[in-house]
Amino acid sequence: MERRPIRGGRLKSAGYDAREQLLEIEFVDGTLKTFKAVPAEVWRRFVASPNPASFYADRIDEEYPVVTGRAAGSPDARGKLDALFGTPPEDTNPRSSD
């Protein structure tokens, strides 16, 4: 699914799968919402809207079935965390069950 940057409000990017009628919207906080059974016309109007955040609130949010998740992190996210906090120690002493 090709994604487009979306500017406005809490929106970061969006993508649409016409065959499956799925609309994915990524938010700046990393939340990813996948809306089901969204007509192609709604997608076209959403990306053409002068205020996509308002269009989302008025015409998409709470109008279509949704699955909420988290957007995938960047592939080097682990490396960035390790650089910031250090590499976690190896667990050489697994806990035994009593």
**Residue 93 resides in a domain:** no
pTM: predicted TM-score of the whole model, two decimal places? 0.71
**Residue 91 resides in a domain:** no
**Residue 40 resides in a domain:** yes
Range of the structural domain that residue 73 is part of: 3-85
What is the Cβ-side half-sphere exposure of residue 63, based on CA atoms within 13 angstroms? 12
**Residue 98 resides in a domain:** no
> Would you give per-residue pLDDT tens digits along the chain (98 residues)?
889 999 889 999 999 999 999 999 999 999 999 999 999 999 999 999 999 999 999 999 999 999 999 876 655 656 666 666 776 666 555 555 55
Say how many domains are in the chain.
1
Selection from 48, 52, 11 nearest residue 33 by Cα: 11
Alpha helices in the chain (DSSP H): 40-48, 52-55, 77-85
What is the Cβ-side half-sphere exposure of residue 48, based on CA atoms within 13 angstroms? 6
**Residue 71 resides in a domain:** yes
Beta strands in the chain (DSSP E): 3-5, 11-17, 22-27, 31-35, 66-70
